Structure 1
Amino acid sequence: MKLKFSKMHGLGNDFMVIDGVRQNVSLSPEQIRRLGHRQLGIGFDQLLLVEPPREAGHDFRYRIFNNDGSEVEQCGNGSRCFVKFVRDAGLTDKSRITVETARGVIAPEYLGDGLARVDMGVPRFAPADLPFLAEAETLTYSLPLAGRACEIGIVSMGNPHAVQRVDDVDSAPVAEIGPLVEGHSWFPQRVN
């Protein structure tokens, strides 16, 4: 199968963007994993699939897949790339579009000169909204990691995030702690 695609990035997140309006696209999770492989495929953080809307009154449908083949609800950096892509590809000449996502309708806006913005909606902090396995909702949680506790906050803007306050971002042990948090059993569907 041949697919036309574009590579884009927003604030360091890189995307493979596929026009599913003008070409027929049907990818299995395994095919997405192969495409997402950094050495043997295209390589990307997420695949963005542009589709026709399901409901009248919307401009597009937007599906987002992680490079492991799993589908997610939303991506802020991806939505900004999405609106630039549909304009550059000639799929619309609108600056502000309405887009169906797994989380609901968003309205990204292309501002010109490569700039775009999107209102991601109201942040969700309830553990059940991520999901995060916690007995009660608090501001911070003590996550057990490799024999020590890691203090985190949680938030979802359509996809789950664990947030840790650090004194110095450049020396924070992201490469060590990040994978442990991402795959922690308290996040049954993983976390950013």
Structure 2
Amino acid sequence: MRNSTLVALLGAALFVLLACVAALSDVRASTVEKLDLAGLFERSEHVVHGRILKSSVKLGAHGRPETTYEVDVTTAFWGTSSGTLTFRTAGGALPDGRELVIPGLPKLAIGEEVLLFLTCESKRGLRMPVGLAQGKFQVVRDEQGPATLLRGESELEFLDPTTHEPQKLSTRASLDFDATARELERLAGERRDREAAARK
């Protein structure tokens, strides 16, 4: 009787442990599609180079924190024209300490120069960087050389097309800014041509 009780308790403890591990895994990682530059561009409603001017966090209509960003747009490769772009994303930290963290969502700092690939607005009026952390590059300028686009690591996973199992997605990248800008202009031209042909 004692043995069966012990086995039952161990089984219950193991179940709870596995459930906790699974829950932590869900919180710490997001599974996304692995995207190259063309993939990011095609899935974007706005592709902009600019500087983060402002950010503010407040409760959204569903009672969850949302962050509003204002971007001073230097170059619009797609979507909005040059000027100011304002958009809201899910998540953020409220002044009272409440916080909603979206795994894999990149942080945007006031004053930061960035290249952003942004999705269409959701029904709630929210936008996200395409592919989460994949959709944000920081522009780093060196007086001795050309500007560079940097993207750091994040807690993202992607489904391996062969095994269909989640794999760690390395988002770290370093790209030449000028070469990337030329490629984005080329992609924009191709996309405009396709959309014009589709309207005929």
Greater relative contact order (Cα < 8 A, sep 6+):
2
- Give the TM-score normalised by structure 2: 0.26
Instruction: Give 1 or 2 for the bigger CA radius of gyration.
Output: 2
Q: Which structure is higher in strand share?
A: 2
